[in-house]
Amino acid sequence: MADDRLIVALDVSTMDAMKSIVSSLGDSVSFYKVGMELFYAEGDQTVRYLQEHGKHVFLDLKLHDIPNTVAHGVSSLTRLGANLITIHGQGGPIMMKAAAEAARESAEKLGIERPKLLAITVLTSFDDESWTSIGGQLPIADQVIRLAKLAKESGIDGVVCSALEAKMIRDACGPDFLIVTPGIRPSFAATNDQKRIATPSSALQDGASRLVIGRPITQAEHPQEAVRLIIEEMESVSK
């Protein structure tokens, strides 16, 4: 039943809460996101637990610092064997190139598969008003495209972006560029604090590679049923 285009966000702060979600979803989900809240609270045991249960891991820590620091951070995280790792695109091309090189070198040294790196473009909690308030000069969509192109040129495998920008990025960056989209809300779910959102089918149709969905599944009365409904919608779009 699992569709590896679906990534379930483990936005919890304890191992027990994480284990409860993974156990309740069973074989219906094969890919999970571990973000700051969980990783900072429980560390790398979160990644090991998921791997021991045959799951893929999206490690969403959004590294953003000087190039040398980010490179060392990526090297350390590569050892964990996560499938996807995020850095901030706004760290610039030198930082992104350093991260890509660090992931490649560390994986080769360890004899493991290299993690795919994703650049964060503009967080989906931003709308036009809040974007302007922090000094955004370009419209959000233009900034996202600019960062996506820069990420590709810097050797990064893909981006995290709103589904609303997925089609433009797919057109600009080609068929092999990874596009991971949070802010996905199926028809039965509330929008919560996300501003730039889309449904699962529309996001995939517009070129998204993988979808990150949290609360509509993890806070559902019947989580496996929520997953089933989402996968049904996803499967209306061919892989």
Residues with catalytic annotation? 62
Backbone angles phi, psi at 156, to 5 degrees: -85, 145
CA-based R_g, the chain, Å: 17
| Chain centroid, CA 75 distance in Å | 19
Rounded distance, CA 214 to CA 211, Å?
Answer: 10
Under 8 Å between Cβ of 146 and 125: no
15-25 and 223-234 helices, crossing angle to 10°: 60
Give bridge partners of residue 168 from the DSSP assignment: none
Rounded distance, CA 151 to CA 168, Å?
Answer: 15
**Tell me, what amino acid is at 198?**
A
| Chain centroid, CA 161 distance in Å | 9
